[in-house]
Amino acid sequence: MRKKKYINEVFQQTRWMQGIIYEQSVEGDRGILPPETEPEIMSEIDESWKIPSALKRKLNPNLPEVAQLYVLRHYTRLSQMVFGNNVANNIGLATATMKYSPLVNEDLVRMKQVAEIHPEQDVRSLQGMLEIVYGLEQALKTLSGMDHVSMQPGGGAAAIFTNAKIVKHYHEDRGEGDHRTQIITTLNSHPANAAAAASVGFEVIHLPPGSAGYPDIESLKAAISDKTAGLMTTNPEDTGLFNPKIKEWTDLIHQAGGLCVHDHANANGVIGIARSREANFDLCHFNLHKTFSIPHGSYGGGTGAVGVHNDLERYLPKPRITFDGDLYSLDFDLPDSIGTVRSYLGNIQAHVKAFAWIMALGEKGIRRVAEIAVLNNNYMTEKIAEIRGASISYHPDNTNWRIEQTRFSWEELNRDTGVDTEDIRNRVVDYGIQTYWPSHHPYTVPQPFSLEPTESVSKADIDELIEVFTRVSEEAYRNPEIVQNAPHKSSTSAVDPASFADPPMSWRVYQRRKNKNT
Amino acid sequence: MVGTDFVHPYIPNSNPTSLSAMLEEIGVSSIEELFHSLAKELRYQGSLELPEAWDSEIELRRFISETLQKNTAFEPHQNFRGGGCWQHYVPSICDEILSRGEFLTAYTGSRHANVGSFQAQFEFQSMIAELTDMDVVSYVSYDWGSAASTALGMAQRITQRRKLLIPRNIGPWRSSQIETMRASSNIDWINIDPASGQIELNELRESMGPDVAAIYIENPCYLGNLETEVEAISALAHEQGAIFIVGVDPLSLGVIEAPGSYEADIVCGTIQTLGIHMFAGGGLAGLLAMRDEQRIKTECPWPILGLLETQQENEFTFGWANFDRTPYGLRDESQDFIGTGQTIWAIIAGVYLALMGPQGIKEIGETILQRSHYAAKKLAAIPSITLPMNKATYFKEFIINIDGSGKKISTVNEILTDLGFNSGIDLSESYPQFGQAMLVAITECHTKADIDVFAQALDKTLS
């Protein structure tokens, strides 16, 4: 095994000082030439093709003019100033499940039978794709315990919206839509649960965490009434804590006539081990870009998969895939469906990658994913807790092992040194590792930081992170300025605080303001 | 629990050396102990009934690729199907940048760790701003339909009104998405003129009132035609304090006037046409651009990057300028939902626009216009084909009717599929008023010879 030390003392992130692409523009340069229309066509169509003058563009759009090599070099250089998971330790991005995205799967979706397929081709010419999407649906059914799955939503929040919409339709169909107006969620559940519920017209009740990290059952009982439409909750929550009473919760909601929706974005530590079904959820969703290895694409390629019980199947988005044992088809004739949430069948290339990932692991492998994710996290958590100024949230009130991620606090370090969690986020980059995610809003833990070492990370990666965090803590106690003025070795310098007020949201606005001032 | 002999290349610490070292370090004898907060009744005891895994990469690759080969990838120049996902040429550099693992496998992160992806997003915003003549552009949405739904929701919140006026020429997918996301009871569908495909202005005028939150039009719309009465529609919306929203295919904006020039308040559209493969619909992403007005941008739920200056001279960096106004900050007070979107496609679209430049974007628009008009003329010369929208102004798609042949589009399309053509979308169910009709898409991928070969095949199939 690799020996200590892991810290890279001489790290310097690539720093190209590349400038905005507009600053590289040279009048008259061309990046690529589109084909010219054949003269035979021109002589046949006369003036018929011309746009009426009211709608014809008068001025060419101000796009940059850059020769081909320099476009390539520009974006290649920009890519070199990004700590993608293929490049650097990304344990810090908790809640995002930064795991290895197998390269063979990227190769597979480059095939023309994926990349060059139109979604509305004759279904006879789409049988391979439909077979894979259908196969993935079957796998997600068994992994969630749900009876039916749709992978149309374009991301996790879109999947949560889909589920909220199904809950709404379910109550409306039963004539209870007018009085079942409230959704209960927890303050540590992802904000999309509250936002999506509100966007379909529900009033949202937030349950604050108790000392154990999740709301106590009394607060749930107090929130339940004849207005309850359902529960929408993450479990385990973003704190890494699994609510052991979740089945009592779902029972209480069911007794009150509500539905239970499982935000299973944090599935990685329990996949194949504890499913939505056994906790009596009626609906759930997975994020294929988290648990199922789809690369995060700098904030998407997201893909959400929703699963529901038999009695909610009729509400699923349309179209749905059917299989008669011979031919895969698309069924649009679904009068009770909530409609379409994304055009066509969803992110097909993501479906192919997720299916390939499952087929590379199988049942044993998938359970192994959960086991190692949990082992990695608890190994890391124990070590982080030893760092001066750091503590595990809701500990020692809750001494349970954490699941796949842990939320920590720098409260003590902040009190002792004045250094805050934002400062430390910036400082760890100086040692060549990704920044970390503090917490979703609102912060229920003071000075939060959240870490998630998935099954993909090695012991050496975890040890590197622990050493960097230990070093930064020492710096905060010894020389807080170096942390507070970080980063020092990043591709970019610390921001001029004045520029946060009303920053320009496009280059043209920046230019306009600059010209006005000169 | 899985036995300790199971080691997988995707799971480094499944090797017995690391595994036992880590267990020992934290003082537990088995992984099982770590799961004690999961009561037995919450555990799934049965088999997952997943198919047998492929142990080696070579077997996995072969199995998946053999399955995928059951699909037919039509030759790009024999694909005439569009309607929301189009066959455009993807420059090699777009694919090269897409394959960069740095962009592909990063998440948002922070500007300090990921300034390169932040800059690429800001440059995308800046180039879309120029194309649409808007000053503010957000991170991309899931697709055009969801971007349109978001824009309509913004308009409802800005105006504190509910009613939305939308013409019936936006196609079945976006119609369904908007009805799902914005509630169909709020929507007044406005009829279209069958000869031009454009919104019935008189009907729009009659439906307009002080209770209307927004008018939404597309330019070009699903049926391919342009809306030429944009000034009148814009004025109609603004006279009543409503928001004017325009949906676009940005690839057309080198030749078609920018919505900003006719006073659109919010612009939405697809970016799949900008250097992104179709991926059977997986290549979609939705753009959202708006005027730089506080009342508008404050209602945008998608994050927007701002340009920041650093303590170093001549250096920029970037940060989310509206975090507090997104659902991440507002939770249920936001009244809209967003999350991980499709940012990788925004990066690729930026690469594409940087390659095209002002001249390229104009030239590609002209080529598409010229070839599509040639194709319409050529197809209309076939005896049993007519162009039902004979007064339409269009960009790359147009409708042909085959009633004269007595045949059905579904039958004709099946035959053409077998001949290697992905012919136009069958409109006979979604737009029965056009009879047996198909929507034909022409792009820069189609030469004169390709169009002639398609016309010949169609002629033969119809006769």
Specify the CATH number of the domain B76-86+360-462. Answer: 3.90.1150.10
For residue A55, being part of any structural domain is answered with: no
Q: What is the mean pLDDT of residues B425-434?
A: 98
Picking from A75, A242, A503, the nearest residue to B321 by CB comes out as A503
Residue A298 backbone zone (phi > 0: left; psi -120 to 50: alpha; other: beta): left
Asked whether the beta carbons of A380 and A91 are under 8 A apart, the reply is yes
Q: In terms of CA atoms, which chain A residue is nearest residue B32? A: A371
Q: What are the backbone dihedrals phi and psi of residue A201, each rounded to the nearest 5 degrees, phi first?
A: 105, 10
- Ranges for all domains in chain B classified under CATH 3.90.1150.10: 76-86+360-462
- Read off the DSSP letter of residue A91: T
Whether residues A265 and A189 share a domain: the answer is yes
b/e map B423-456, b = 16+ CB within 10 Å: bbbbbbebbeebbbbbbbbbbbbbebebbebbbe
Q: How far is CA A270 from CA A241, A289, B285, in A?
A: 12, 16, 31
Whether residues A271 and A135 share a domain: the answer is yes
CB contact under 8 A, B44 and A369: no
C-alpha A471/C-alpha A325 separation (Å) is: 60
For residue A245, being part of any structural domain is answered with: yes
Picking from A31, A275, A507, the nearest residue to B357 by CB comes out as A31
In Å, how far is B101's CA from the nearest CA of chain A?
6
Given this model, what pLDDT does residue B3 score? 66
Q: What is the mean pLDDT of residues B61-84?
A: 97
| Span A4-41, pLDDT tens digits | 568 999 999 999 999 999 999 999 999 999 999 999 99
- Cα-Cα-Cα-Cα dihedral of A371, A373, A378, A380, to 10°? 150
Residues linked to residue B342 through DSSP beta bridges, in sequence order: A300
Cβ contacts (< 8 Å) between A366 and chain B: which residues? 48, 50
Q: What element of type H or E holds A29? A: none
Picking from B43, B110, B345, the nearest residue to A274 by CB comes out as B43
Burial of B397 (0-12, 13-18, 19+ CB in 10 A): buried
Q: What is the mean pLDDT of residues B313-335?
A: 90
Domain membership of residue A377 as a residue range: 365-498
Asked whether the beta carbons of A170 and A259 are under 8 A apart, the reply is yes
Picking from A21, A84, A129, the nearest residue to B103 by CB comes out as A84
Given this model, what pLDDT does residue A3 score? 55
Cβ contacts (< 8 Å) between A348 and chain B: which residues? 279-282
Q: Is A277 helix (H, G, I), strand (E, B) or coil?
A: coil
CB contact under 8 A, A459 and B448: no
Q: Which of residues 297-326 of A touch B (CB under 8 A)?
A: 297-302, 317-318
Are β-strands B243-248 and B212-218 bridged in parallel, bridged antiparallel, or unpaired? parallel
Whether residues A295 and A172 share a domain: the answer is yes
| pLDDT grade for B6, boundaries at 50, 70 and 90 | confident
Q: Is A327 on the interface with B (CB under 8 A)?
A: no
Q: In terms of CA atoms, which chain A residue is nearest residue B34? A: A401
- Ranges for all domains in chain B classified under CATH 3.40.640.10: 92-353
Whether residues A397 and A453 share a domain: the answer is yes
Picking from B50, B64, B76, the nearest residue to A362 by CB comes out as B50
- Least confident interval from A3-12, A499-508, B215-224, B340-349: A3-12
B448 pLDDT above the threshold of 90: yes
Q: In terms of CA atoms, which chain B residue is nearest residue A29? A: B357
For residue A80, being part of any structural domain is answered with: no
In Å, how far is B267's CA from the nearest CA of chain A?
15
Given this model, what pLDDT does residue B1 score? 72
| pLDDT grade for A305, boundaries at 50, 70 and 90 | very high
| Span B355-408, pLDDT tens digits | 999 999 999 999 999 999 999 999 999 999 999 999 999 999 999 999 999 999
Cβ contacts (< 8 Å) between B271 and chain A: which residues? none
Strand-by-strand arrangement of the A406-409 sheet: A391-392, A406-409, A448-451
Asked whether the CA dihedral A384, A388, A392, A393 is positive or negative, the reply is negative
The residue among B17, B42, B85 with the most chain A CBs within 10 A of its CB, best to mutate, is B42
Q: What is the mean pLDDT of residues A331-356?
A: 97
C-alpha B151/C-alpha B248 separation (Å) is: 13
For residue A419, being part of any structural domain is answered with: yes
| pLDDT grade for B152, boundaries at 50, 70 and 90 | very high
CB contact under 8 A, A299 and B11: no
- Read off the DSSP letter of residue A50: P
Q: In terms of CA atoms, which chain A residue is nearest residue B290? A: A505
In Å, how far is B77's CA from the nearest CA of chain A?
11
We report the CATH number of the domain holding residue A311 as 3.40.640.10
Burial of A52 (0-12, 13-18, 19+ CB in 10 A): exposed
Whether residues A172 and A311 share a domain: the answer is yes
The residue among A506, A507, A516 with the most chain B CBs within 10 A of its CB, best to mutate, is A506
For residue A100, being part of any structural domain is answered with: no
CB contact under 8 A, A84 and B106: yes
Picking from B6, B373, B447, the nearest residue to A45 by CB comes out as B373
Q: What is the mean pLDDT of residues A352-366?
A: 97
Q: What element of type H or E holds A409? A: strand A406-409
Q: How far is CA B180 from CA A161, A199, A317, B148, B266, in A?
A: 10, 11, 9, 12, 20
C-alpha B317/C-alpha B113 separation (Å) is: 11
Tokens of residue B384, six digits? 């049993």
Specify the CATH number of the domain B92-353. Answer: 3.40.640.10
Whether residues A173 and A147 share a domain: the answer is yes
Given this model, what pLDDT does residue A4 score? 58
Asked whether the beta carbons of A489 and A13 are under 8 A apart, the reply is yes
Complex prediction ipTM: 0.97
Tokens of residue A110, six digits? 């480059």
Q: How far is CA A442 from CA A158, B299, B370, in A?
A: 21, 20, 55
Spell out the residues 6+ positions from residue B375 whose beta carbon is closer than 8 angstroms to its own: B398, B440, B442, B446, B451, B454, B455
Asked whether the beta carbons of A204 and A197 are under 8 A apart, the reply is yes
Picking from A57, A76, A204, the nearest residue to B257 by CB comes out as A57
Asked whether the beta carbons of A116 and B139 are under 8 A apart, the reply is no
Q: How far is CA B447 from CA A323, B365, B452, in A?
A: 39, 14, 9
Q: Whole-angstrom distance between the N-terminal and C-terminal Cα of chain B?
A: 67
C-alpha B318/C-alpha B122 separation (Å) is: 8
Whether residues A313 and A371 share a domain: the answer is no
Tokens of residue A96, six digits? 């995002």
Given this model, what pLDDT does residue A233 score? 97
Strand-by-strand arrangement of the B266-270 sheet: B136-137, B286-290, B266-270, B243-248, B212-218, B163-167, B187-190
CB contact under 8 A, A301 and B342: yes
Spell out the residues 6+ positions from residue B41 whose beta carbon is closer than 8 angstroms to its own: A247, A278
Q: What is the mean pLDDT of residues B330-348?
A: 92
Picking from B87, B95, B230, the nearest residue to A118 by CB comes out as B87
Whether residues A424 and A320 share a domain: the answer is no
CB contact under 8 A, B310 and A493: yes
A442 pLDDT above the threshold of 80: yes
Within a 13 Å sphere around the CA of A353, how many CA atoms are in the beta-carbon half?
30
Cβ contacts (< 8 Å) between A489 and chain B: which residues? none
Q: What is the 3-state secondary structure (H, E, C) of chain B?
A: CCCCCCCECCEHHHCHHHHHHHHHHHCCCCHHHHHCCCCHHHCCCCCCCCCCCCCCHHHHHHHHHHHHCCCCCCCHHHECCCCCCCCCCCCHHHHHHHCCHHHHCCCCCCHHHHHHHHHHHHHHHHHHHHHHCCCEECCCECCHHHHHHHHHHHHHHHHCCCEEEEECCCHHHHHHHHHHHHCHHHEEEECECCCCCCECHHHHHHHCCCCEEEEEEECCCCCCECCCCHHHHHHHHHHCCCEEEEEECHHHCCCECCHHHHCCCEEEEECCCCCCCCHHHCCCCEEEEECCCHHHHCCCCCCCEEEEEECCCCCEEEEECCHHHCHHHHHHHHCCCCCCEEHHHHHHHHHHHHHHHHHHHHHHHHHHHHHHHHHHHHHHCCCCCECCCCCCCECCEEEEECHHHCCCHHHHHHHHHHCCCECCEECCCCCHHHCCEEEEECCCCCCHHHHHHHHHHHHHHHC
For residue B98, count other CB atoms closer than 10 A to its CB.
21
CB contact under 8 A, A340 and B177: yes
Burial of B186 (0-12, 13-18, 19+ CB in 10 A): middle
Are β-strands A182-186 and A203-207 bridged in parallel, bridged antiparallel, or unpaired? parallel
Given this model, what pLDDT does residue A125 score? 97
Given this model, what pLDDT does residue A19 score? 94
For residue A128, being part of any structural domain is answered with: yes
Whole-number average pLDDT of chain A: 96
Of A448, A314, A456, A289, the closest CA to residue A384 belongs to A448
Picking from A55, A106, A499, the nearest residue to B228 by CB comes out as A55
Tokens of residue A65, six digits? 């003019």
Cβ contacts (< 8 Å) between B120 and chain A: which residues? 75, 78, 298
C-alpha B283/C-alpha B291 separation (Å) is: 27
Q: In terms of CA atoms, which chain B residue is nearest residue A398? A: B37
Cβ contacts (< 8 Å) between B21 and chain A: which residues? 1, 459
CB contact under 8 A, B139 and A456: no
What is the percent of chain B with per-residue pLDDT over 70, rounded to a whole number?
100
Q: In terms of CA atoms, which chain B residue is nearest residue A289? A: B340
Whether residues A335 and A392 share a domain: the answer is no
| Span A250-296, pLDDT tens digits | 999 999 999 999 999 999 999 999 999 999 999 999 999 999 999 99
CB contact under 8 A, A499 and B37: no
Q: In terms of CA atoms, which chain A residue is nearest residue B101? A: A86
Q: In terms of CA atoms, which chain A residue is nearest residue B95? A: A110
Picking from B84, B321, B331, the nearest residue to A191 by CB comes out as B331
Q: Is A21 on the interface with B (CB under 8 A)?
A: yes
- Cα-Cα-Cα-Cα dihedral of B318, B324, B325, B331, to 10°? 130
CB contact under 8 A, A301 and B18: no
C-alpha B254/C-alpha A60 separation (Å) is: 6
C-alpha A302/C-alpha B142 separation (Å) is: 8
Is B336 or A134 the better-scoring residue by pLDDT?
A134
CB contact under 8 A, B113 and A88: yes
C-alpha B157/C-alpha B159 separation (Å) is: 6
CB contact under 8 A, A297 and B103: yes
| Span A392-438, pLDDT tens digits | 999 999 999 999 999 999 999 999 999 999 999 999 999 999 999 99
C-alpha A238/C-alpha A403 separation (Å) is: 10
Q: What element of type H or E holds A412? A: helix A411-417
Q: What are the backbone dihedrals phi and psi of residue A101, each rounded to the nearest 5 degrees, phi first?
A: -100, 105
Given this model, what pLDDT does residue A378 score? 98
B279 pLDDT above the threshold of 60: yes
Given this model, what pLDDT does residue B4 score? 66
User: How far does Cα B290 stand from its chain's mean position?
Assistant: 17
Q: Is A178 helix (H, G, I), strand (E, B) or coil?
A: coil
For residue A452, being part of any structural domain is answered with: yes
Whether residues A160 and A176 share a domain: the answer is yes
CB contact under 8 A, B137 and A506: yes
Number of domains comprising chain A? 2
Picking from B54, B65, B316, the nearest residue to A359 by CB comes out as B54
In Å, how far is A27's CA from the nearest CA of chain B?
10
Q: In terms of CA atoms, which chain B residue is nearest residue A75? A: B97
The residue among B107, B181, B394 with the most chain A CBs within 10 A of its CB, best to mutate, is B107
In Å, how far is B107's CA from the nearest CA of chain A?
4
Between chain A and chain B, the number of residue pairs with CB atoms below 8 A apart is: 717
We report the CATH number of the domain holding residue A419 as 3.90.1150.10
Asked whether the beta carbons of A465 and A380 are under 8 A apart, the reply is yes
Given this model, what pLDDT does residue B314 score? 86
Whether residues A226 and A354 share a domain: the answer is yes
Whether residues A158 and A259 share a domain: the answer is yes
Q: What is the CA radius of gyration of chain A?
A: 26
Picking from A86, A368, A429, the nearest residue to B102 by CB comes out as A86
Q: In terms of CA atoms, which chain A residue is nearest residue B430? A: A332
Cβ contacts (< 8 Å) between B360 and chain A: which residues? 30-34
Q: What is the mean pLDDT of residues A43-63?
A: 95
Q: How far is CA A393 from CA A104, A375, A403, in A?
A: 39, 18, 13
